[in-house]
Amino acid sequence: MPSTNKINFYKYQALLNDYILIEGKVDLSDEQIILMCSRREGIGADGILMVDSDNSMEIINSDASIAMMCGNGLRCVIFHLLRKESISTGEHVDIPTRSGLRGGMVLEATEKNAKVRGVLGQIVVGKTTTVNGRDFIFVNTGNPHCVHFTTENEDPLELCLNLGPVMEKSVEGGINVSFARITPDGIELYVWERGAGFTMACGTGAVATAYAASSISLITTKAVDVIQKGGRARVSIDEVATLEGLAHFVFEGSYHLQ
């Protein structure tokens, strides 16, 4: 589709992972995407979600790169479909993505807030690789992830901010990098996202980390809370992964392209 001078948009966030949601597919230049996502010059967001009439979801990172999948973005799209009365509370909806068919449902909702379960499909836990003396477990959640579980002497947030940018570029095409530690409450997690940098939460990162922890018996339950800066989400570890947590409608408006 040709570019337009004005775009109607909706702002959503899930665990403070925030998005600009646009109905339909709109042609945007890299410069326009970066400006829209800028927190000083534009609307401000971790990325853009484009939702077409078939409920398919296109995810564009704040640096204008394309993402294959997004767990928190998926949950925001499902809430948007409820708000637009395309689905009902408790009704499963399929969402086509670049990583294949995903989906989920709204469990309960008010006008602006919802508890949403996203269905992220089958998760593949891959090999463990040692990089600079630290073990990283590779996990495919529809997005590529690598996960490091910190020792008692390591600060996962500090490692994320310092090593995340380095690890992101260590794999061709980039990779999402998670730094986590097991706590009595669940898993404490910090993620450096490919194409977005450090974010307040990462849905596919939460799922990847839970499955990585289960694969090496750091956790033994079939569900675990993953706690990030933006809040807490529940990951169910089974043949098909689910991610359950809050999503919020923030505001809507019109944006004039530059």
- Residues labelled as active-site residues: 70, 202
Residues 6+ apart with CB under 8 A from 14: 72, 73, 75, 76, 116, 201, 203, 230, 245, 246, 247, 248
Work out the angle at residue 84's Cα, subtended by the Cα atoms of residues 78 and 88, and round it to the nearest 5 degrees.
60
Maximum pairwise Cα distance, the chain: 54
Torsion angle defined by CA atoms of residues 219, 223, 225 and 228, in that order, rounded to the nearest 10 degrees: 80
DSSP summary character for residue 16: T
Q: How far is CA 181 from the centre of its chain?
A: 19
Q: How far is it, in rounded angstroms, from Cα 66 to Cα 42?
A: 19
Distance CA 111, CA 157 (A): 34
201 C-beta neighbours (distance < 10 Å), count: 28
